[in-house]
């Protein structure tokens, strides 16, 4: 079988699997977040925390819950890293330095999972499982909760109540992420991923040298790492490591895991607003952008010029031979468009134009399909922008799902869109102007600039992947990238919840002959166009200085 045919079959199998799961998983999540019942284990959690899960919260109270829970999470994870050498299962590892502990705590709590350390030589078993893996669950659940609050904003009327953050958080973990992660972990173990708490093994290599091999509870963390669109690897090589990703089956399973919840959430949205066709319009826009990215990167990597690339069947530098060109490109596009940050190849080795596509996937806001929760609410904000632009073109007050998009709503949507570009562009510009930025680059010219641009794009958009040639483990970058992660995660949530509260208070507007049909293919095209124009062009000058310049010069 030719490699190209194998790649086509792999993408086809992935699309079929996602299509089969889309309806049942989407309906299940809608039922979970619409239910009035609480499981017994959930009631135990509510009692332990001291909250009333039936209290309906307005957006300021919902936001306070999000921020308070996340702030406590940052503090606890920071302390755990600083004292890991005094705790059980330490493996003899030293405590993490203050700046790196801050960076890692903000990274995992913000669902970014950027790593400026090597997990197998820095983090103890307890830190990995009791700290990082726990945050993989709850940080994903926070994004899911905020998305549900915005969906309720569209679904409800004449009320400012958006549900209960604590109930949404607990249900997201207990009823969705945890059961799916258990099944995924079992499949990964069956595929060859390791799962243990053994000590470090010292072995003798074929050259006669000694090498340390770190074991760990890898499969369980790998499952939620991808399912929760987190991305933090147990090992420095992430999903290129055979202990995390042993073979082609596990590779395709991991890609499926990082896409399945974000691609199913539009169905949840459609069910909760009373029109599944609205969900189909959203998921179509997501799928179109994602598929275009997969085709572009795969084609560019196969067509890379040069004798070595042609003999290897493509640009294989930085890629695993056991996965090949197509599976590496598929993984790279999927991870940068879902805020996952998990990698099975090194993005720094992709060609200039391919790196530009990967950067663009993050710069669009990671909404195709985006992170767990964050992809849906990011796409819905862009839908608000799209109907506003349509209203301007035809001279009508814009409406979406029976809600008027007035001055307040469009201001909140615009502020949401402006947060990450400001963080990315200002952060990159300052870093390039300082000696720290130049010292961190292992390449000069356009590619060196792309390394810095990628780092701030990844941090501000809560992705977590990196151009591996960038030396980010310095006090300056640990601090500034940590701040970008926090601001890029929680400032947009402020605007999303404020928008949800504003929409929920409105009285529904009756549909008329002039109402834009937002469930039609025309709106899907308008939405994709708005995404590319409004957000894509914001970053065009930066892309021209980095990956475009590199790609056109090669």
Q: How far is CA 60 from CA 34, 66, 68, 162, in A?
A: 21, 10, 12, 10
C-alpha span between 198 and 301 (Å, rounded) = 40
C-alpha span between 468 and 40 (Å, rounded) = 46
For 148-188, the three-class secondary structure string (H helix, E strand, C coil) is: HHHHHHHHCCCCCECCCHHHHHHHHHHHHHHHHHHHHHHHH
Q: How many contiguous H segments (helices) and E segments (strands) does the chain have? A: 23, 4
- Written as tens digits, the pLDDT of the chain (554 aa) is 677 888 899 999 999 999 999 999 999 999 999 999 999 999 999 999 999 999 999 999 999 999 999 999 999 999 999 999 999 988 889 999 999 999 999 999 999 999 888 888 889 999 999 999 999 999 999 999 999 999 999 999 999 999 999 999 999 999 999 999 999 999 999 999 999 888 788 888 778 888 778 888 999 999 999 999 999 889 988 999 999 999 999 999 999 999 999 999 999 999 999 999 999 999 999 999 999 999 999 999 888 766 656 656 667 777 888 888 889 999 999 999 999 989 999 888 888 899 999 999 999 989 999 999 999 999 999 999 999 998 888 777 789 999 999 999 999 999 999 999 999 999 999 998 888 777 777 777 888 899 999 999 999 999 999 887 777 788 899 899 999 999 999 999 999 999 999 999 999 888 777 778 899 999 999 999 999 988 878 999 999 999 999 888 86
Residue 277: exposure state from Cβ atoms within 10 A (0-12, 13-18, ≥19): exposed
* Phi and psi angles of residue 415, each rounded to the nearest 5 degrees, phi first: -65, -40
C-alpha span between 397 and 255 (Å, rounded) = 41
- Print burial letters for 150-187: b (CB count within 10 Å at least 16), e (below 16): bbbbbbbeeebbbbbbbbbbbbbbbbbbeebbeebbeb
Dihedral sign from CA coordinates of 193, 190, 255, 370: negative
| Entry field: residues in the chain | 554
C-alpha span between 176 and 301 (Å, rounded) = 36
Q: Collapsing DSSP states into helix, strand and coil, what is residue 58? A: strand
Q: Collapsing DSSP states into helix, strand and coil, what is residue 106? A: helix
C-alpha span between 192 and 195 (Å, rounded) = 9
Q: Collapsing DSSP states into helix, strand and coil, what is residue 390? A: helix
Residue 411: exposure state from Cβ atoms within 10 A (0-12, 13-18, ≥19): middle
Contact partners, residue 15, CB within 8 Å, separation at least 6: none
Dihedral sign from CA coordinates of 109, 137, 362, 357: positive
Question: Both tokens of residue 554?
Answer: 């090669």
Give the distance from CA 247 to its chain's centroid: 23
Contact partners, residue 273, CB within 8 Å, separation at least 6: 151, 154, 155, 401
pTM of the model: 0.95
């Amino acid at each position: 079988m030719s490699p190209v045919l194998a790649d086509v079959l792999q993408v086809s199998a992935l699309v079929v699997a996602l299509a089969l799961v889309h309806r049942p998983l989407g309906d299940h999540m809608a039922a979970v977040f619409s239910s009035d019942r609480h499981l017994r284990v959930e009631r135990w959690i509510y009692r332990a925390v001291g909250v009333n899960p039936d209290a309906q919260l307005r957006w300021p109270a919902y936001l306070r819950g999000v921020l308070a829970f996340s702030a406590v999470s940052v503090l606890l994870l920071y302390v755990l890293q600083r004292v890991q050498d005094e705790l059980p299962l330490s493996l003899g590892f030293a405590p993490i330095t203050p700046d790196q502990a801050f960076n890692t705590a903000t990274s995992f709590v913000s669902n970014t999972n950027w790593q400026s350390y090597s997990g197998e030589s820095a983090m103890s078993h307890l830190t990995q499982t009791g700290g990082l893996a726990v945050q993989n669950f709850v940080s994903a659940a926070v994004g899911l909760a905020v998305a549900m609050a915005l969906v309720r904003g569209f679904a409800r009327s004449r009320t400012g109540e958006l549900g209960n953050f604590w109930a949404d958080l607990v249900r997201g973990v207990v009823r969705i992420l945890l059961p799916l992660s258990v099944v995924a972990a079992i499949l990964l173990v069956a595929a060859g991923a390791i799962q243990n708490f053994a000590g470090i093994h010292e072995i003798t290599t074929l050259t006669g040298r000694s090498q340390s091999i770190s074991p760990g509870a890898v499969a369980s963390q790998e499952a939620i790492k991808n399912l929760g669109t987190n991305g933090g690897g147990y090992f420095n090589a992430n999903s290129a490591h055979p202990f995390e990703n042993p073979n082609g089956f596990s590779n395709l399973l991991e890609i499926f895991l990082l896409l399945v919840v974000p691609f199913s959430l539009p169905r949840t949205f459609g069910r909760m607003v009373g029109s599944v066709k609205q969900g189909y319009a959203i998921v179509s826009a997501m799928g179109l952008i994602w598929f275009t990215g997969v085709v572009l990167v795969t084609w560019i990597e196969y067509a890379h010029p040069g004798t070595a690339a042609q003999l290897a069947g493509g640009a294989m530098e930085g890629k695993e031979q056991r996965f090949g060109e197509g599976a590496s490109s598929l993984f790279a596009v999927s991870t940068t468009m879902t805020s996952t940050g998990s990698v099975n190849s090194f993005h720094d080795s992709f060609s200039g134009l391919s790196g530009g596509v990967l950067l663009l996937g993050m710069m669009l806001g990671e909404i195709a399909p985006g992170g767990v929760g964050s992809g849906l609410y990011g796409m819905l904000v862009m839908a608000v922008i799209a109907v506003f632009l349509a209203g301007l073109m035809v001279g009508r007050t814009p409406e979406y799902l029976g809600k008027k998009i007035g001055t307040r709503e469009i201001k909140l949507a615009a502020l949401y869109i402006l947060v990450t570009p400001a963080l990315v562009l200002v952060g990159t510009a300052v870093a390039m102007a300082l000696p720290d930025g130049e010292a961190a680059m292992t390449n000069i010219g356009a590619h060196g600039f792309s390394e810095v641009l990628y780092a701030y794009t990844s941090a501000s958009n809560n992705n977590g992947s990196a151009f591996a040639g960038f030396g980010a483990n310095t006090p300056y970058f640990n601090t500034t990238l940590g701040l970008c992660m926090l601001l890029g995660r929680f400032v947009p949530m402020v605007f999303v919840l404020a928008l949800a509260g504003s929409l929920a208070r409105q009285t529904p507007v009756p549909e008329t002959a002039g109402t834009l049909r937002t469930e039609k293919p025309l709106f899907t095209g308008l939405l994709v166009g708005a995404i590319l124009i409004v957000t894509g062009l914001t970053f065009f000058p930066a892309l021209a200085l980095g990956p475009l310049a590199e790609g056109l010069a090669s």
